[in-house]
Structure 1
Amino acid sequence: MAEPRVTSFTSDALGTSDAVELSHRLTRKEISPVELVEAAIARAEALGPTLNAMAHEDFEAARLNARLPRSGFFGGVPTLIKDNVDLAGQPTNHGSAAWTASPARHHSPFVKHFLRSGVVPLGKSRLPELGFNASTEYVDAPPTRNPWNPAYSSGASSGGSAAFVAAGVVPIAHANDGGGSIRIPAAACGLVGLKPTRGRTPDDLVHTIMPVRIIAEGVVTRSVRDTAAFYRELERTYRPRRLPPIGDVTGPSSRRLRIGLHRDSPVTSPDAQVGAALEDTAQLLRNLGHEVREMDSLVDEQFVEDFSIYWQMLAALLRGGGQRIFDPSFDPTRVDTFTAGLADAFMTNRAKLPGVVRRLRRSSRLWSQRCGDYDVVLSPTLAHTTPKLGYIAPGQDFDQHFSRLLQYVAYTPLQNATGDPAISLPLGRSDIGMPIGMHFGAGPGEERILLALAYELEQARPWPLITEPADTLSALPAQVQPRSTV
């Protein structure tokens, strides 16, 4: 039986095009920014009540911006900004009900550069409170749903962006990643999600002063070329001196790679369906001429404990300093049960923090120490298939929640500690048709290798997208019901 899907693809100005194709159509004047933004608004209004992917909408500002002269490669392409960075004129609430944010006065550093590519934001996308959970769910609010099957999680923390990109509302959307938050929702929603090398994209000041800079900015897209174009365009206005440029990656490389197969983490092994997708991907790589060899686990139980304690420290910092960091109205008693559980756990572990920070900083040497024989490391993005909503939702017993989370996100945090790049590609499918992500990591500054490999895999095995067109958006009810597709 086919799974129920929620889509917005139709024969409007957006069609089924990715952002690069829309850019070309804009250049040829086949469509206009106004037409694209109006189409995206209609799609957002149609799917919003079902997917619950937007934290704040400002359609009038989007309409106004679409009428202004647009420059940049993506000039006129609609997008979303995740609700944990500032977009001037709109509130930034970080997915939390602990305070009500006032409109931001200025763009964050990343948003400033992203807007220079010409994108037009419709508003802010949803995330779980403070970005800590791996599912975009709440204690007292509806969850963000997965368009492949609305009974399932869209992942997190960039779950709102991923849901609306997968469903066709926008072709590209902002995401950021502090433990897998670009790659996890990309895997759950069948998208391309590249976490860049530390320093590749502009950071907010608060991130740069943290003891370990685990957060990186980026996007989620439906095609490899959209992700590659985003980084090419970003480099026109932001070029980190310490990293080699990515440049314009437009297709596969002829270079054959040495690929390490990383199967098991210290926490868990992949479940049967994820394991089968991993083996299938490894065989595909071999068929394409790459050398694939088994390798030992990259991290040990100490790393898992260290990253967990660092995570807990961030929750304690934000809960305790929320009035200073966010807003004087921040009420620490109103954070959700998961944030509170993390913060409370840190009170038990805080004496370990100096050693945690020291070891996590040292992890930046891991690629040269353990992966020097490989160009790329392959693993699953997530250890098991996408869970149903509720499985890792806040409101349950914290110990159970945290244990489930560690079992789910067993592979992605490593690159946040090391600062290395990694990409999730939707190369597998579960027995009910849900996407399964495969994860590829490379050495520092090696995004070009990952993008070229991603192009090759996309061409060798194109992944399915939710592109069933509706006859007309006007025929869609205000609340779109999940519908079966064959």
Structure 2
Amino acid sequence: MDVGDYRAHDALGLAALIRAGEVSREEVLAAACAAIEADNPALGAVVRTRFERAAEEARALDADAPFAGVPTLTKDLLMAIGGEPLAFGSAAMAEWRAPEDSSLVRRVREAGFAILGQTATPELGLMGITEPKAFPHPVNPWAPAHSPGGSSGGSAAAVAGGLVPLALAGDGGGSIRIPASHCGLFGLKPSRGRVPLGPMFGEVWQGAVVEHALTRSVRDSAALLDAINGMDEGSPWPLPREAGFLAALERPPEGLRVAVSLGEPLGAPLGTRLDPEVRRAVEQAAARLEGLGHHVEWADPPVDGEALADSYLTLYLGHLAADLAWISEQTGVPVSRLALEPSTRAIGRLGRCLPARDYESAKRYWNRAAREMAAFHRRFDMLLMPVAATPAPRRGELYPSAARERLMSLLAIPGSAHLALRAGMLKRLAADSLRRTPYTQLANLTGQPAMSLPLHITPEGLPVGVQVLGPMGDEKRLLALAARLEAEVAWGRHLPRV
């Protein structure tokens, strides 16, 4: 199998060829390794490879497993491979090794995947771009001067660049959907707790983080969810394993009530300006749904965008402070001496000053937003709105400037972090970090599933995804709708030129 043949198939397509004996899993792995070796120096998607270990593990895979030896990549964040490096995108963790496999990694192996390496992520997954100082910056395969987004930017670049048909990803505030939108891929964020984060963690960011994948096809996403969903031992979320996600694609949903929004309540408090191409993508998607027989009505989500952003950033600050303490424990290096990026260190200082009362109050707003959205979904089956306010930004455009980093360093002055919080630093952080991507955090806070669909390409050749949210636990209907639109648009028929 040459690289061109390898790239012509999605993961289930490759698995079918292997099971039929038309190609061996060794040939498929060899093609994947060749693609990574040839193209990753330009893409910067993969930060670490394990080709020999993957080949050994592939020989022991169950021949009847659904993915039968198909290659994949994990994200360099949370997805632990026992005894191997996991840096979380940070120089502070560069030498750290995970004590055991994560539950997700175990299930991915049981599903028949061969893990060839780890993909790039921003430091600790904190940004909607992937430009860590400790590792290469992945480029957008559609336009190398542009970012693939984040925090799963390395996974998105790897899939869009044809290195693997599917790469694992995580989403705590849009980190699957934003890269999917920027790279022309399908990206599903499952419901809260659907995919376990154990055994190192029970929940991350109070349950906002959910792991899954970036894929070229809807069926790959559905088949993977069949294989990895359900609580693990000790999980805080009692969701048993559920089947039927792939089978759901065979029954296109009929007569859906779809709300359409440009996300004004979420973006306006942050000063967001919606790009005309994003507006066009949403309007065209609404017209397409109407043409398929669904009832489409313009209606905004009933939430307070400013309160939502404040609540999200408050939890973000508190968790980062705890994460830095954990990294210090794992590495034996005091927090003050950890090799962190200036923005990470500054936000961690703010988090250490956050009163527990404010943290808990912020979490309580999540419940209010979830109840409001549950009531909204009694009227509408789904909500269609933007993923991001713009197509992919240029690389370096959104990373904190040197002047901003120097300003953040002033938070090291005793008492300054407390003063900064009281002076409204949280709102400034929310506006700065979420202005381009204010539409994705809603589903993380409410826990409901959401997906990015690659339905539009700008005249400049940049993909733009549209987001669809469903009620809690409604992945099957989301996936079925995605498959119907995929059949209509045929977005998987090509990859961008590397």
Q: State if a TM-score over 0.5 links the two structures.
A: yes
Residues in 1 aligned to 2:199 and 2:230: alpha-carbon distance in whole angstroms: 22
Matched, 1:409 2:414: no
> Quick one: distance in 2 between partners of 1:380 and 1:331?
38
Q: Which residue of 1 aligns with 2:466?
A: 438
Matched residue, 2:107:
113
Give the Cα separation in 1 of the matches to 2:279 and 2:201: 35
Paired position in structure 1 for 2:51? 59
Aligned to 2:166: 172
Tell me by how many angstroms 1:176 deviates. 0.9
Give the letter for the 2:220 counterpart: D
Alpha-carbon separation, structure 2, partners of 1:29 and 1:141: 39
Percent of aligned positions that are identical: 33
Q: How does 1:285-324 map to 2 (within 5 A)?
A: 285-300=289-304, 301-324=306-329
The equivalent residue for 2:477 is 449
Deviates more, 1:154-163 or 1:68-77: 68-77
Give the 3-state SS of the residue equivalent to 2:42 in structure 1: helix
Deviation at 1:206, TM superposition (A): 5.4
Matched residue, 2:67: 74
Contact 2:91-2:134 at 8 Å conserved across structures: no
Note the C-alpha offset of 1:251: 3.3
Of residues 314-323 and 123-132 in structure 1, the stretch that sits farther from structure 2 once superposed is 314-323
For residue 11 of structure 1, what is the aligned residue in structure 2?
A: 4
Which amino acid in the other structure matches residue 341 of structure 2?
D
Pairwise CA distance, 1:443: 0.6
| Compared CA separation, residues 142 and 343, structure 1 to 2 (3 A) | same
SS in 1 for 2:260: strand
Q: Which amino acid aligns with 1:257?
A: L
User: Structure 1 residues 216, 291: CA separation in 2 closer, same or farther (over 3 Å shift)?
Assistant: same
Q: Does 1:382 align with 2:388?
A: yes
> How do 1:349-368 residues align onto structure 2 when only pairs under 5 Å count?
349-350=354-355, 352-368=358-374
CA distance in 2, matches of 1:150, 1:138: 17
Q: 2:199 & 2:343 partners in 1: Cα distance? A: 26
CA separation of 1:465 and 1:147: change in aligned 2, threshold 3 A: farther
Task: Measure the CA separation in 2 of the matches of 1:442 and 1:435.
Answer: 23
Shift of the 330–184 alpha-carbon distance from structure 1 to 2, 3 Å rule, reads farther
Q: Evaluate the alpha carbon distance shift between residue 69 and residue 168 of structure 1 in structure 2; reply closer, same or farther with a 3 A threshold.
A: same
CA contact (8 A) 1:16 1:467 kept: no
Match for residue 26 of structure 1 among 14, 18, 30: 18
Secondary structure of 1:250's partner?
A: helix
CA distance in 2, matches of 1:149, 1:330: 41
Summarize the Cα distance change of 1:243–1:294 in structure 2 as closer, same or farther, 3 Å threshold: farther
Structure 1 residue 33, shift from structure 2 partner: 1.0
Give 1:237 deviation, angstroms. 9.7
1:39 is aligned to 2:44 = no
CA distance, structure 2, for counterparts of residue 77 and residue 27 of structure 1: 11
1:473 match: none
> Larger relative contact order (C-alpha < 8 A, sep ≥ 6)?
1
Question: Which is worse superposed, 116-125 or 224-233?
Answer: 224-233
Question: What letter matches 1:270 in structure 2?
Answer: L
* Cα distance, 1:374–1:269 mapped onto 2, change above 3 Å: farther
Higher deviation after alignment, 43-52 or 259-268: 259-268
Q: Given that residues 100 and 329 in structure 1 are in contact (C-alpha distance below 8 angstroms), is that contact kept between their aligned partners in structure 2? A: no
Deviations 1:275-294 (A, max 9, x none): 11111111111111111111
1:27–1:330 CA distance, 2 compared to 1 (3 A): farther
Q: In the alignment, is the contact (CA less than 8 A) between 1:244 and 1:445 conserved in 2? A: no
- Whole-angstrom CA distance in 2 between matches of 1:250 and 1:185: 24
| Structure 1 residue 345 corresponds to structure 2 residue 363 | no
Provide the rounded CA distance (Å) in 2 between the counterparts of 1:179 and 1:446.
19
* Contact 1:80/1:123, CA 8 A, preserved across alignment: yes
Shift of 1:349: 4.6
1:195-230, CA deviations, whole angstroms, 9 ceiling, x for partnerless residues?
A: 101121112355425672111110110011111111
Secondary structure in 1 matching 2:468: strand
Question: Partner amino acid for 2:358?
Answer: K
Q: Is the 8 A contact 2:382 2:470 kept in 1?
A: yes
Residue 125 of structure 1, CA deviation: 1.0
Identify unmatched segments of 5+ residues in structure 1.
Answer: 1-8, 470-481
Corresponding position: 1:463 with 2:491: yes
Separation of aligned partners in 2, 1:406 and 1:245: 35
Structure 2 segments unaligned to the other structure (5+ residues) = 406-424
How many pairs does the alignment contain? Answer: 460
The answer to whether the Cα contact below 8 Å between 1:134 and 1:184 also exists between their aligned partners in 2 is yes
Which of 79, 86, 92 is equivalent to 1:92? 86
Contact 1:319–1:335 under 8 Å retained in 2 = no
Distance 2:311 2:385 in 1: 21
The answer to whether the 8 Å contact 2:229/2:241 transfers is no
Deviates more, 1:238-247 or 1:350-359: 238-247
| 314 and 355 in structure 1: CA distance in 2 versus 1, 3 angstrom threshold | same
The secondary structure found in structure 2 opposite 1:249 is: helix
Deviation at 1:10, TM superposition (A): 3.8
State the Cα RMSD in Å: 2.4
Report Cα offsets for 1:392-418 as digits up to 9, x if no partner. 224542688863431111111111111
Cα distance in 2 for residues equivalent to 1:401 and 1:353:
16
Which structure 2 residues correspond to residues 326-345 of structure 1 after superposition, within 5 A? 326-329=330-333, 332-333=336-337, 334-345=339-350
1:120-199 aligned within 5 A:
120-139=114-133, 141-199=135-193
Cα distance between partner residues in 1 of 2:328 and 2:493: 43
Measured at CA, do residues 235 and 211 of structure 1 come closer, stay the same or move farther in structure 2, by a change above 3 Å?
A: closer
Q: 2:40 aligns with which of 31, 48, 52?
A: 48
Shift of 1:329: 4.0
1:266 aligns with 266
CA contact under 8 A between 2:142 and 2:183: conserved in structure 1?
Answer: yes
Report if aligned partners of 1:184, 1:381 keep a CA contact under 8 Å in 2: yes
- Measured in 2, the distance between the counterparts of 1:191 and 1:281 equals 16
1:234 CA drift (Å): 2.9
**118-127 or 357-366, larger mean C-alpha shift:** 357-366
State the 1:336 CA deviation.
Answer: 1.0
Question: Who is 2:419 aligned against?
Answer: none
Q: Deviations over 1:139-163 (max 9, x none)?
A: 3643111111111111111111111
Aligned AA for 1:46?
A
- Give the C-alpha shift of residue 357 in structure 1: 1.6
Distance 1:357 1:79, change over 3 A: same
Query: Hey, what's the Cα distance between the residues in 2 that align with 1:193 and 1:233?
Result: 17
Summarize deviations over 1:417-475 as a string: whole Å, max 9, x none. 11110011111112211110110000111001100100111111122655378xxxxxx
The corresponding residue for 1:373 is 379
Residue 455 of structure 2 corresponds to 427
